[in-house]
Amino acid sequence: MVLFKRLPRLVWSPMPDEDIVPPDAQAQHPALTGDLKTLGDELLPHFRELNAYALQYQNEFRRDQLVLISGGALAAVLGVLHVSVPHAAATWAGITEAVLAAALSALALRARTVGGQQRYFTWRLKAEKLRSEYFLFLGSVGVYADRKARVPNLIRRVAEIKSGEIRNG
């Protein structure tokens, strides 16, 4: 049944907001309360936005692929029917197969033109980059080692990542 948990939804609805570090784990580390509040104010809303876009485009890409695969299988079955049934029924099977193949071709062209997979990869990369900044900030690593410049550096990095200027530190 795990296979069916990963099936795309027909109509997309956003997931509830998620935290990078679960609240119960946050409660176990009271020394990080200030940093976690800063991250909750400055980074988490942007992470959630980018993550929601990534999940939406992932769902769209998977839905298109599922339709193309199942439609291709149905077209193959119709092709078998076309050659194996009497003439009158074969005509309808052939017409249905041709219409289905044309619709699948249009869907494949739309999927390629829209670039759902590339959009998913772009938004996922940005969301995961923000996730890494979250942990770099918590660990006071790199540009976050200077206590005075930590928050301005975080705000700058979030803006760079969201704008697409993804680079290291």
Residue among 167, 36, 135 nearest 156 (CA): 167
Q: Using the 8-state DSSP alphabet, how is residue 144 labeled?
A: G
| Residues 136 and 164 sit within 8 Å (Cβ to Cβ) | no
Residue 8 and residue 167: Cα distance in Å, rounded?
A: 32
Residue among 160, 98, 106, 104 nearest 133 (CA): 160
Write out pLDDT tens, residues 76-111. 998 888 888 888 778 888 888 999 999 999 999 988
What pLDDT does residue 126 have?
Answer: 95
What pLDDT does residue 48 have?
Answer: 94
Average pLDDT over the chain, rounded to an integer: 88
What pLDDT does residue 121 have?
Answer: 93
pLDDT at 2 over 90: no
Contact partners, residue 33, CB within 8 Å, separation at least 6:
26
State the average pLDDT over residues 16-33: 87
What pLDDT does residue 155 have?
Answer: 95
Higher pLDDT, 71 or 5: 71
Residue among 15, 39, 53 nearest 132 (CA): 39
pTM of the full predicted structure? 0.79
Number of residues that this document lists for the chain: 169
Residue 77 and residue 160: Cα distance in Å, rounded?
A: 51
% of the chain beyond a pLDDT of 70: 94
| Residues 44 and 84 sit within 8 Å (Cβ to Cβ) | no
